Chain A
Amino acid sequence: MKLTLRVWRQQNADADGAMSTYEVDGISADMSFLEMLDTLNEELILGGEDPVAFDHDCREGICGACSLVINGDAHGPERTTTCQLHMRAFRDGDTIDVEPWRAAAFPVVKDLVVDRSAFDRIIQAGGYISAPTGAAPEAHATPVPKPDADFAFEHAECIGCGACVAACPNGSAMLFTSAKVNHLNVLPQGAPERETRVLDMVGQMDAEGFGGCTLTGECATACPKGIPLPSIAAMNKEWLRATRKAKKVGR
């Protein structure tokens, strides 16, 4: 396959970026999108140019490191992570636009790499449970109803890649935050911090400069792990409940 790539190049956080055009040849349809970029970078390095910086780690679709907006879609045209997107999704001769996540809370570090530590700070604000140290507790001591376990697991699938923020026209992190809140709030292990968790995580989300939710549904469409849009409603419900109960928790 022969492709024309238009890639966002930005020297550093303070520099102005722009799209640069590259031609790549000899691309196999079985290559992943990142392997295609590797091919481009090899050529750039051999030609003495600066290779395109992009985030990646496991390349198995489970770590959430890769983050590219391909032709205007976060993670490209298929519902998966960029690393699991293969070049068979494109046709020979295509022109492909590759851009970084765009949101005020995700500043560009270089080229296609953005700083997603805002997500880490949201997790730090409440994405934990209180557990006694020492021997592991007996696994069957705390029964969890099957529907609750399924609900928690569905939300625990979030890999924190940030595609929801990238896809949202408001740069909102509501889907990410709701996945993290719902995952723990529904479980008995998460019950002691049920109110403070949602208040603190939403508070941190706002403090990071993410936008609000206008229910466009773009986030849930882009999410490679299929976190559903009603998660946001579930978190709103938890938040409203917590504001009423907050007196009882020493916040």
Chain B
Amino acid sequence: MALATRTDRKPSLTRTVWDSTVGKKAVMAVSGLIMLTYLAVHMFGNLKIFFGAGDFNGYAHWLRTVGEPFLHYEWALWIIRVVLVAAVVAHAVSAYQLSRRDIRARPSQYVHRRPRASYATRTMRWGGVILGLFIVWHVLDLTTGTVHPGGFQSGHPYQNVIDTFSTWYGNTIYIVAMLALGLHVQHGFWSAAQTLGAGSAARDRILKTLANVLALVLTLGFISVPVAVMTGVVS
């Protein structure tokens, strides 16, 4: 007679990853790195505004025709958008679930309080919410033009950017959000590296330096555009 063998099935990889705090952090890390890669490309593209309206509008047009004739008009852009939305949703849902769990795990605070961890670390959650709201405004402002100040002209991003950064609130929202982005990336990149197991005693210094450099370059690169419009370098 055959011996009884184990019949319980191993949970699927997706289940294992999503149900574990370590796995959910890995989801956050990967989705965060996808968004970070996009931001680096986005920031680099933005800098074309310093070469004039022709270069900048031409670059915007190229973004819609890239991949042709293999891809149809704007398909590459839509593929990127789908990937980004998936990354944002995965990042936000896992952040929400992990945060709920973290708060439940420490229900009462110490009577003797002292500041813990760095500013960037402590502001990850609210910083993330601010960035989420900023993205909504940013898309409504410069992609769809719904809340754009002045007449939004599709295909003329150079003028649209100048319109937005000619308003005080456009500048304020953008610069505050980019400072929040810098803080978020500084802790986020380093954290993602640790979560994916890249950290070690020997590598931590270089990972921290890389996180600081990324945060600084992204923030300065993005902020240079509204500053250039305000100072009249770009008009």
**Chain A residues near B (Cβ < 8 Å):** 6, 8, 19, 69, 71-73, 97, 99, 102-105, 168-172, 199, 202-203, 205-206, 209-218, 228-230, 232-241, 243, 246-247, 250-251
A251-B199 contact, Cβ under 8 Å, with A215-B190, A236-B194: no
Choose the segment among B69-77, B110-118, B223-231 that binds chain A (4+ C-beta atoms closer than 8 Å). Answer: B110-118
Q: In whole angstroms, what is the CA distance A72 to B113 when docked?
A: 6
Do B104 and A102 touch across chains, with their CB atoms under 8 A apart? no
* B contacts with A: majority SS: helix
Do B194 and A215 touch across chains, with their CB atoms under 8 A apart? yes
A172-B102 contact, Cβ under 8 Å, with A213-B21, A239-B22, A247-B10: yes
> Contacts of A232 on B, CB cut-off 8 Å?
194, 199
Chain A residue at smallest Cβ distance from B16: A243
Q: In whole angstroms, what is the CA distance A169 to B110 when docked?
A: 10
Do A170 and B105 touch across chains, with their CB atoms under 8 A apart? yes
Do B102 and A170 touch across chains, with their CB atoms under 8 A apart? yes
> Contacts of A216 on B, CB cut-off 8 Å?
116-117, 121
> Contacts of A218 on B, CB cut-off 8 Å?
116-117
Choose from B102, B197, B198, B204 the contact partner of A214 (Cβ within 8 Å): B102
> Contacts of A241 on B, CB cut-off 8 Å?
197
Do A103 and B105 touch across chains, with their CB atoms under 8 A apart? yes
B23 within 8 A of A: yes
How many chain B residues touch the partner (CB < 8 A)? Answer: 45
Q: In the assembled complex, how far is the CB of residue A96 from the closest CB belonging to chain B, in whole angstroms?
A: 9
Q: In the assembled complex, how far is the CB of residue A174 from the closest CB belonging to chain B, in whole angstroms?
A: 8
Do A169 and B21 touch across chains, with their CB atoms under 8 A apart? no
Do A211 and B101 touch across chains, with their CB atoms under 8 A apart? yes
Do A206 and B21 touch across chains, with their CB atoms under 8 A apart? yes
Choose from B16, B19, B98, B110 the contact partner of A102 (Cβ within 8 Å): B110
- Scan B179-223; emit 1 where CB is below 8 A from any A CB, else 0: 000000001001101111111110010000000000000000000
Do A237 and B110 touch across chains, with their CB atoms under 8 A apart? no
Do B10 and A251 touch across chains, with their CB atoms under 8 A apart? yes
Chain A residue at smallest Cβ distance from B192: A215
> Contacts of B107 on A, CB cut-off 8 Å?
104
Do B23 and A243 touch across chains, with their CB atoms under 8 A apart? yes
Q: In whole angstroms, what is the CA distance A215 to B117 when docked?
A: 9
Most chain B C-beta atoms within 10 Å of own C-beta, residue among A97, A203, A215, A243 = A215
Do B22 and A236 touch across chains, with their CB atoms under 8 A apart? yes
Choose from B105, B117, B196 the contact partner of A171 (Cβ within 8 Å): B105
Q: In whole angstroms, what is the CA distance A37 to B20 when docked?
A: 41
> Contacts of B23 on A, CB cut-off 8 Å?
239, 243
Q: In the assembled complex, how far is the CB of residue B17 from the closest CB belonging to chain A, in whole angstroms?
A: 6
Do B197 and A237 touch across chains, with their CB atoms under 8 A apart? yes
B108 within 8 A of A: yes
Chain B residue at smallest Cβ distance from A218: B116
> Contacts of B21 on A, CB cut-off 8 Å?
202, 205-206, 211-213
Name B103-138 residues within 8 Å CB distance of A: 103-114, 116-117, 121, 124
> Contacts of A6 on B, CB cut-off 8 Å?
111
Do A230 and B201 touch across chains, with their CB atoms under 8 A apart? yes
> Contacts of A237 on B, CB cut-off 8 Å?
196-198
Do A97 and B101 touch across chains, with their CB atoms under 8 A apart? no
Most chain B C-beta atoms within 10 Å of own C-beta, residue among A97, A205, A236, A241 = A236
Do A104 and B110 touch across chains, with their CB atoms under 8 A apart? no
Q: In whole angstroms, what is the CA distance A19 to B112 when docked?
A: 10
Do A102 and B25 touch across chains, with their CB atoms under 8 A apart? no
29 contacts between A and B (CB under 8 A): A19-B111, A69-B112, A71-B114, A99-B112, A102-B109, A169-B102, A170-B103, A172-B102, A172-B105, A205-B21, A206-B19, A211-B101, A211-B102, A212-B101, A214-B102, A215-B191, A228-B201, A230-B200, A232-B194, A233-B193, A233-B194, A234-B200, A235-B22, A236-B196, A237-B196, A240-B22, A243-B13, A246-B16, A247-B10
